[in-house]
Amino acid sequence: MQTKPPWMHVKEACKNKLLLVYISAGKDLGRLGIGTKLVRHLEEWCKEKGAEYAYMATDCTNEASINLFTIKCAYKKFRTPTILVQPVHAHYKPISSSANTNIAIVQLPTTLAASIYRQLFSQSSEFFPKDIEAILACNLSLGTFMALPVKSLAKWDPQKWTLPPNFAILSVWNTKEVFRLQVKGVSSLTYACCVGTRLVDAWLPWLRLPSFPNFFKQFGVYFMYGLHMEGEHGNRLMKGLCNFVHNMARDDRGCAAVVAEVGQRDPVRESVPHWRKFSWAEDTWCVKKLDEAKQGGERSSSDQFDWTNTPSSSSSHIFVDPRDF
C-alpha cells in the first residue's frame, strides 16, 4: 500500500447529520494526533453548517479507528449491521433455480415503490428516511424491483395496495458514479490467479465457475437497499432477485461487486448471495451529538430525541439510506 498524506472525505447524510466516510494518516504520520485534530476540526465545521450529529462506520476489527472515535473523540458505539459483498462474475447467474419455481422480476414505478416501502418499513424499521421518494427518484437510483412467482403475477393488482403472499423487494443504487475503489499491493502470484479465474469463467461461462473481477483497476459497486421478503418462497425469490442485480452489474462495465448492508438478525441476511472473505460480519457504527454546548441555551428542534442514547430496536430490520453508503 502506498503511504498517503492525511486526509478525510465527508458527505452530508441529511440536513442535520454528517457522515465521516474516510479518514487516513500515512504510516510515517501515525501517532502524532493528526487524526484527532482532523476529526475535531471537522466537527466544528459541521456545527457551523448546522449538523447536530456526526457518525462514522468501520469494521469491528479496526481497533485503531474505533479507539480514535470512542476514546479520544467521545463517540458512542451505536449499531453493528452486516455488510455482504458479492463479486461480479464473468458469467450470468440464474434467476430461477428450477422450472418449478419460475420467478418474474417487475420494476416498480417510483410512487408505488415508495408506498410499499412505507407500508413495510416506516413502523418496523430503524432509520427509515422520510424523503424516500427523493431517494428513489434520484439519478443514482437504478430502480426498485420485485420478484414473485410467475403464477402469482397475473393475480397481483398493485392498484389495490395489497402485497402478494410471496415476494421479495429491493432497490439498487449506482455508487460507482460517486466513488471508485481499487485493490493494491497484492503479490504477482495472487494477481495471476485472479486473472486466471476470470479468463476461465469468460471462456467457459456454462460451468458458472466463481471468478474474481478485476479489483486491481478502479471499479465501482452496486448497492442494494430496502431488502425485504415474505412468504414461504421468500428465500428463493430474494436469491433470484439478487442474481438479477448481479446480472445488471455484469452488463455494466466498471462494476465489480454487488453490496448490501442489513441488520444482523434480519432474515434477509441468509438469502443474499455473498463471499464471506469479502464481507463484514459487523460494521460498527458510532455516533456523536455535536450540539451539547447548546444545553444551557436555545435547544434545537431535535433535542427532545437523542440518537446517542437510543437502545437497539427490537426490530431486526435496518433501512440503510444509500446516500450514507
3-state secondary structure of 229: strand
Residues 171 and 251 in one domain: yes
For the segment 199-229, what is each residue's pLDDT rounded down to a tens digit? 999 899 888 888 888 888 999 999 999 999 9
Total count of domains within the chain:
2
For the segment 4-28, what is each residue's pLDDT rounded down to a tens digit? 333 333 444 444 555 555 555 556 6
- Classify residue 223: in a domain, yes or no: yes
pLDDT, position 30:
60
- Classify residue 51: in a domain, yes or no: yes
Residues 259 and 237 in one domain: yes
> What CATH number did the domain enclosing 186 receive?
3.40.630
Question: Nearest CA to 222 among 115, 143, 117?
Answer: 143
- Classify residue 45: in a domain, yes or no: yes
Residues 138 and 103 in one domain: yes
Considering 133-147, 181-195, 288-302, the range whose residues carry the highest mean pLDDT is: 133-147
pLDDT, position 290:
84
Residues 227 and 308 in one domain: no
Residue where the block lists cell 413495510: 120
pLDDT, position 23:
58
Q: For the full predicted model, state whether its pTM sits above 0.85.
A: no
Question: Nearest CA to 142 among 102, 115, 113, 181?
Answer: 113
Residues 303 and 272 in one domain: no
Residues 46 and 13 in one domain: yes
The residue ranking higher by pLDDT, 62 or 246, is 246
- Classify residue 1: in a domain, yes or no: no
- Classify residue 2: in a domain, yes or no: no
Mean of all residue pLDDT scores within the chain: 83
- Classify residue 183: in a domain, yes or no: yes
pLDDT, position 89:
93
How is residue 112 written as a grid cell? 408505488
> What CATH number did the domain enclosing 299 receive?
3.40.630.30
Positive or negative, the CA dihedral 232, 236, 239, 242 is negative
Residues 169 and 242 in one domain: yes
Interior/surface letters 290-316, b for 16+ CB within 10 angstroms, e for the rest: bbeeeeeeeeeeeeeeebeeeeeeeeb
Question: Nearest CA to 104 among 164, 162, 174?
Answer: 164
| Cβ-based burial of 130 (10 A; exposed 0-12, middle 13-18, buried ≥19) | exposed
Residues 215 and 128 in one domain: yes
- Classify residue 225: in a domain, yes or no: yes
Residues 131 and 274 in one domain: yes
- Classify residue 164: in a domain, yes or no: yes
Residues 104 and 187 in one domain: yes
Show the domain range for 263. Answer: 83-278
Residues 130 and 63 in one domain: no
pLDDT, position 315:
65
For the segment 269-324, what is each residue's pLDDT rounded down to a tens digit? 999 999 988 888 888 888 888 876 444 445 444 445 676 777 666 667 888 899 88
pLDDT, position 17:
54
For the segment 28-71, what is each residue's pLDDT rounded down to a tens digit? 656 667 778 888 888 888 888 888 888 888 888 888 888 888 88
CA angle 31, 32, 33 (to 5 degrees): 95
pLDDT, position 10:
41
- DSSP label at residue 311: P
Residues 194 and 318 in one domain: no
For the segment 67-118, what is each residue's pLDDT rounded down to a tens digit? 888 888 888 888 888 999 999 999 999 998 665 578 999 999 999 999 999 9
pLDDT, position 5:
34
CB 169 within 8 A of CB 121: no
